[in-house]
Structure 1
Amino acid sequence: MYKIERPQDEIAIKVETPLIYDLQRISLKDDPSKFCVMPKTFIEKGIERIKNMKVYEDDIWIVTFPKCGTTWAQEMIWMIGNDLDYVTSAKTSLDERFPFLEMSWLGPGIPFDLFELVQDMSRPRYIKSHLPYFLLPDQLWTVKPKIIYVVRNAKDAAVSWYHHHINLHGYQGTKEDFFEAFAKDLVPYAPINEHIIDFWKIRDQPNILFLFFEDMKRNLDQEVKKTMKFLGKNFSQEEIDKLCQHLSFESVRNNKTVNKDEHLKVLMELVGQKYQPKDGFSFIRKGKIGGYKDELTDEQIEMMENYANHDGLKKIGFKYKL
C-alpha cells in the first residue's frame, strides 16, 4: 500500500532535530503524488493503528497542516459543540478536551499516549490531526463524521512552523536550510499544497467545513456563525459576542488551558533544553496575516511565492488568502 523511503536530499537531514528525526517519505504505491514526510517512529508505531481505528458518526475532527490556526480553531469548535461551557474550558486543558491523535508517535520518548486517550474518550469525541487525507482513518470516509479543515497562507504557516520547530522540536539549524526544505517538501508533514488539495476537492460534502485562518482573523463573528450552523447550534448575538471575546488573540494567548505553555515545557525538556523560549516564543505566537514579510529575505519570499503558486492549486481553483 505504501512506499517508504529515506529522502535523498541532504537538506532533509539538516532539518531533523533531537526530537523529530529519521524522516521518511511515505507515498502511495499506486499514486506517488500522494506523499507525506513523517518520522520513522510514526511509521513503526502509529500508521496502521490510525488507518484501522474505529470512527463514530458523532466524532468531530479538526484537520490542518501544522501552524494554520489549529489551536485557536479547536477552542472555537469545542466551545460551540459544548454549548459554551466556559467552566469546563477554564479547568480542563485543550489537549484533554481535544487531543492530538498522532502526537505520541512524532518522536521517541514522548510521554503521552494520546491515541489511547482518544479511543477511551466519552462521546462525542473531539479529535485533532495534521495528517493528510490518505493517512487518516479509512472509516472517516465511510462513517463520515463532521470534519473541519482550516487552511492558512503557506508563507505564514512556514514561518510559524520554523519557530515551532526551533522551540518545541529543538531545531538548531539555519533559517535558510529550513525554508529550502519547506519549499522542497522535506519538513515534517510536508507537503502543504497537496494537503490542501485533497480537502478542497471534498469541501462541498455535507460533513466537511472548510475555513480560512485569514477569514477568522478578519471576521471572527462570521466564522463562528458558520461553525455554529455546521455543528447544529444556535446562540444569541450576545452569546456570540462573548465567545468572540473569549477567542480574541490576546485572550487565547493568555489562557492557560489553551496556550500550551506546559506542553512547551515538557517538549523542551525532552530535547534537553532549558525552558527558555527563543525570541519571546509562545505556542500561540503572533497570529498575524502577512507576518512572513517581516522575517524573510527578498530571496526567501520569492522562493516561497513560487512554492505557493502551485500548479495543482491552480487546477482546482484554489488561492491562498493574503
Structure 2
Amino acid sequence: MELPPRPTLFDFHGVSMTNYFTDNWDNIQKFKARPDDILIASYPKAGNTWVSYILDLLYYSHMSPERQDSVPLYDRVPFLEIHMARFPSGVEELKKLSTFPRIIKTHLPVQFMPKSFWEEKSKIIYVARNAKDTAVSYYHFDRMNMMQPEPGDWNSFLHRFMEGKMVFGSWYEHVKAWWKEKNCNSNILYLFYEDLIQDTEGQINRLCSFLGLSATAELIKQVIEKVHFDKMKTNNMVNGSLDEYLDLNISHFMRKGKVGDWKNHFTVQQNEQFDEDYEKKFKNTDLRFKTVL
C-alpha cells in the first residue's frame, strides 16, 4: 500500500495540529460521552498506551482470551480524534464499541475537550511524563510514524518542542492546563509516568480506587506481569507492529520505556538552554516532574 505524504503542521485555534486530528472536528465536538466512559488523556508519548492496556486488562481480561490475542489495542481503546482516509474515524469506532465502560484515548488539550465529557461527569485519567523524556520519545516516534510531520534533526526538533510547534501543541501548556483543571474537578485523576515506573502496583491500586473498581490481588498481579515493558514490546496487539503507518525498521513504537533516557540525547548546552526555558514556563505552577529516578 502506498502511504500518503507526511502531513504539515498548521495553527488550529492557537494549537499546532495536522489534518488527521482536525478533519472530523464537528463530530468530535458533538461526541456523546456517557457517565461510565473512561477517558485516558495525555500529551503524545507520555504513557497513554500503557494505561490503556492496564485498564483494558482490569476490565476485560476475564473475557475470551481470543480478544487479548487477536484484537489490537487501538480497536479496544479507540482514539477519539483520529480521522484517516480508508479507516473508520475514532468517533465511528466508539459508536460501534459494545463494551461497557468504553475506554477512550485522546491527546486533546483540555480546552478542546467535547463538552459532553464534562456534562456527563465521565471519569478522566490524565497521564503526564517529564518534558525531557517526552521530547526524546516524541522525536523517535516522529521518525518512524508516517502520519506525523518530518521531524528533522534532533537539535531542530528539540527547539520546536520548546516552542510548542508540535502536533497537539505545547507540552508545557498541555500538562499545566490539565493540572489546573484537575485541581477543580474530582473526576480527573492525574497520573505521572515516573510513578507508574517506580510503583506500578501502587498506581494500579490508585486507578482502581478512583474508578471504584474491585480488583483481586491475583488480577492485579496478572496485570502487572502483562504490562511490564518487555512483555508489551513483544506483544503484537500493543507494540504497533500491526500499524501500517509505523516503520519499526526506523525505531520501535515501544522503544525503551525508561526514565532518564534524555541523558543519552541532550548535549550539555541543550540541557542548560532547556532548563532555563523550563524555569520560565513553570514559575507560576506547583506542578513538578521527576527527570531521574
Report the TM-score, using the length of structure 2 for normalisation. 0.89
Give the Cα separation in 1 of the matches to 2:218 and 2:105: 29
Deviates more, 1:296-305 or 1:216-225: 296-305
- Partner of 2:170 in structure 1? 191
Percent identity at matched positions?
29
Q: C-alpha deviations, 1:211-261, integer Å up to 9, x for none?
A: 000000011010110111122222232332221111111111111111111
Report the TM-score, using the length of structure 1 for normalisation. 0.82
Residue 73 (structure 1) aligned to one of 31, 51, 72: 51
Cα 1:75/1:86, change in 2 over 3 Å = farther
User: Between Structure 1 and Structure 2, how many residues are aligned?
Assistant: 283
Give the Cα separation in 2 of the matches to 1:201 and 1:134: 12
Residue 124 (structure 1) aligned to one of 80, 101, 105: 101
Give the Cα separation in 2 of the matches to 1:160 and 1:112: 27
Verify: 1:228 aligned to 2:198, yes or no. Answer: no
Unpaired runs of 5+ residues, structure 1, are 1-16, 28-34, 269-274
Give the drift of 1:54. Answer: 0.9
Give the Cα separation in 1 of the matches to 2:57 and 2:278: 33
Calculate the aligned-residue CA RMSD, in Å. 2.1
Q: Aligned runs of 1:213-292 on 2, under 5 Å?
A: 213-263=193-243, 266-268=244-246, 275=247, 277-278=249-250, 281-292=251-262
- Partner of 1:30 in structure 2? none
Q: Give the counterpart letter for 2:180 in structure 1.
A: K
Give the drift of 1:42. Answer: 3.7
Verify: 1:138 aligned to 2:115, yes or no. Answer: yes
Residue 115 (structure 1) aligned to one of 91, 109, 112: 91
Give the Cα separation in 1 of the matches to 2:62 and 2:190: 22
Kept after mapping to 1: 8 A contact 2:194/2:259: yes
Unpaired runs of 5+ residues, structure 2, are none
Verify: 1:317 aligned to 2:289, yes or no. Answer: no
Give the Cα separation in 2 of the matches to 1:160 and 1:24: 22
Deviates more, 1:183-192 or 1:61-70: 183-192
Q: C-alpha deviations, 1:6-64, integer Å up to 9, x for none?
A: xxxxxxxxxxx93221x22223xxxxxxx321024543x22222112111111111000
Q: Give the counterpart letter for 1:129 in structure 2.
A: T
Q: Give the counterpart letter for 1:120 in structure 2.
A: K
For residue 150 of structure 1, give the secondary structure of its aligned residue in structure 2. strand
